Amino acid sequence: MIKVRKDLLESLSKEAAASARKRKNHNFHTEESDPLQHMLNAVEPASYIRPHKHLNPDKREAFIILKGRMVVVEFDDKGAISDHIILDASLENYAAEIIPASWHTVISLQSGSVYYEIKDGPYDSKTDKIFAEWSPEEGTAEADQYLKTLREKIV
């Protein structure tokens, strides 16, 4: 039995806060070849998850908020925001599922935020994500500004 308890969420959040990328995942699947990838993701507000989509094979991806506040954003092919939802239990917004081949990102709006992610497998780091050409690369000053701009447009 997999158990998700407060101590696991707190520990994962501490690791995320201390990491260079300001995020940390905890996998429940045991192999990258698993057809169901399921994990916890702790994401801090300073973390930039570059907009991407999953192709070849196309993959569904679901996000369920466990702690904190996050926004899931979908984009059109030119990078305009086409939809979004703020995941926050106090708003009674608990989850979102991204359809296959959809540009998307997740942005933490509160320190200590953790979501449960479910995604079609298998996982192959070379082909898992196709990054949007219209979005800046992670770790750049442009990425920091882009993240700030996205937040201002949404919240």
For 16-36, the pLDDT digits (tens) are: 999 999 999 999 999 888 999
DSSP secondary structure, the chain, as one string: -----HHHHHHHHHHHHHSTTSEEEEE-SS-TT-SEEEEEEEE-TT-----EE-TTTT--EEEEEEES-EEEEEE-TTS-EEEEEEEBGGGTB-EEEEPTT-EEEEEE-STTEEEEEEEES---TTTS-EE-TTSPPTTSHHHHHHHHHHHHHH-
- Do 154 and 146 touch, CB atoms closer than 8 A? no
Residue 152 lies in a domain: no
- Do 104 and 52 touch, CB atoms closer than 8 A? yes
Indicate which CATH number applies to the domain containing 124.
Answer: 2.60.120.10
Residue 34 lies in a domain: yes
What's the token pair of residue 99? Answer: 């359809």
pLDDT at 126 over 90: no
Find, among 126, 147, 4, 131, the residue nearest to 71 by Cα: 147
* Average pLDDT across the chain, whole number: 95
The mean pLDDT value for 119-125 works out to 88
Quote the domain boundaries for residue 73: 6-143
Residue 106 lies in a domain: yes
Residue 154 lies in a domain: no
Residue 20 lies in a domain: yes
- pLDDT for 92 equals 96
Please write the tens of the pLDDT for every residue from 98-109.
Answer: 999 999 999 999
pLDDT at 155 over 90: no
Please write the tens of the pLDDT for every residue from 44-86.
Answer: 999 999 999 998 788 999 999 999 999 999 999 999 999 999 9
Number of domains in the chain: 1
Q: List the beta bridge partners of residue 87.
A: 70
